[in-house]
Structure 1
Amino acid sequence: MHWIEPYIATYGSIALFITIYFESFGAPVPGESILIAASLLAQQGTLSLPVMLMAVFLAAILGDSTGYLIGHFGGRKVLLRFCPYVKLTPERLEKFEALFEKYGSGIVITARFFAILRQLNGIMAGALKMHWLKFVAANIIGAALWTLVWGAGPYYFSAFFRSLL
């Protein structure tokens, strides 16, 4: 985590926005690690916590929304093309669509907290035909929770953990 801090300290919330945006629509970027480092830098006074949290929250929403659009307009074709390679039959794909129809909001909210799922979250929701308004609502809730847990959590709880040492 020490290698990340100089970049965040130099480029601030703009670097966080760009990193979280790209991670949220599929790029393999260490978003949580960067967010935790930024939170600790905010505690030291290097970054503004409210500005940092807003940048991360907006980037997470916009990144997942970009992923949704990618999935909606092109993801299904890619899924159908590569289904045989990953043993995903059209029947299984229909089951996934039904799963997203029934539990899509919960999936989108909780996927935010798991690496790889976080990156594929929007793309899969779009490719599996999740209704856009349901996706947006779940995306906002998931982004808010994730931002608060990994952005504000270390900021407020690091002093507590230091007192235990």
Structure 2
Amino acid sequence: MVDTGGLPGPLAALQPMLDHYGYAALALLVALDNMLVPVPGQTLLIVAAVYAGAGRMNIFAVIVVGCIAAIAGAEIAYVLGRREGTRLITRFGRYVRLTHERYAKAEDFYRRGGAKVVVVARFIDVLRQTNGLLAGSNEMPHRRFTLWNAVGAAAWVAAWTALGYTAGTDIGPLYRQALRYQLVLLAAVLLAVVCLVLRAWWRARRRARKES
């Protein structure tokens, strides 16, 4: 067995929770992390994978629990988005850094990107927490969301469990590098949104000129 006592910073801080509550803690935090609540579900998923690599948890159970919790969390957020999306965003959006300006950009992005956004959003902080809510409030068809929600959840869980399981306690540098890639990806998504908004504005302006 591999010793799991040498985990760095935020990973080590979550070890007591996993030691005491095991799969229940994993299910709860992963579900909440995919359901509007900014908790370290992704980080706990990595720690659970490290534990599985050390023989302290079962890797298949970690994957199954992670997938079910991620899918369920986003599905609940989707239903809330269909029913109470605008009101929830107005009241609680600031807690997950979803301002009115970001919400307006996200609306346009979802209308244009659809399924691709649902999959990619899992790997980006802020979008992971608000993914289901935005899809629901933008009235993405439920069956379509459920399909791509499952695909995104499976890809997200597979990526992070593979990283934790294979890296073990040497995960520190890889984890920091992965977080940097997340920031780069978030910047790329925001740039794409800005470009789409500017293109829509430019086309509207051109139409207005032709009509005048």
- TM-score of the pair, normalised by structure 2: 0.66
Between the aligned partners of 2:91 and 2:24, the Cα distance in structure 1 is 37
Kept in 2: contact 1:66–1:122 (CA 8 A): yes
Q: Deviations over 1:58-93 (max 9, x none)?
A: 0000000000011110003445789xxx565xxx95
1:36 aligns with 2:46: yes
RCO comparison, higher one (Cα < 8 Å, 6+): 1
Larger Rg: 2
1:75 aligns with 2:80: no
Give the total of aligned pairs.
Answer: 156
RMSD: 2.6
Kept in 2: contact 1:112–1:142 (CA 8 A): yes
Q: Deviations over 1:74-115 (max 9, x none)?
A: 003445789xxx565xxx95x855542331100010000011
Give 5+ residue unaligned stretches, structure 2: 1-10, 93-98, 173-212
Between the aligned partners of 1:78 and 1:35, the Cα distance in structure 2 is 27
Give 5+ residue unaligned stretches, structure 1: none
Kept in 2: contact 1:9–1:46 (CA 8 A): no
- TM-score of the pair, normalised by structure 1: 0.83
Alignment of structure 1 residues 139-158 onto 2, 5 Å: 139-158=149-168
**Equivalent position of 1:64 in the other structure:** 74
Give the share of equivalent positions with the same residue, in percent: 30
Alignment of structure 1 residues 1-165 onto 2, 5 Å: 1-78=11-88, 86=99, 88=101, 93=104, 97=107, 99-158=109-168
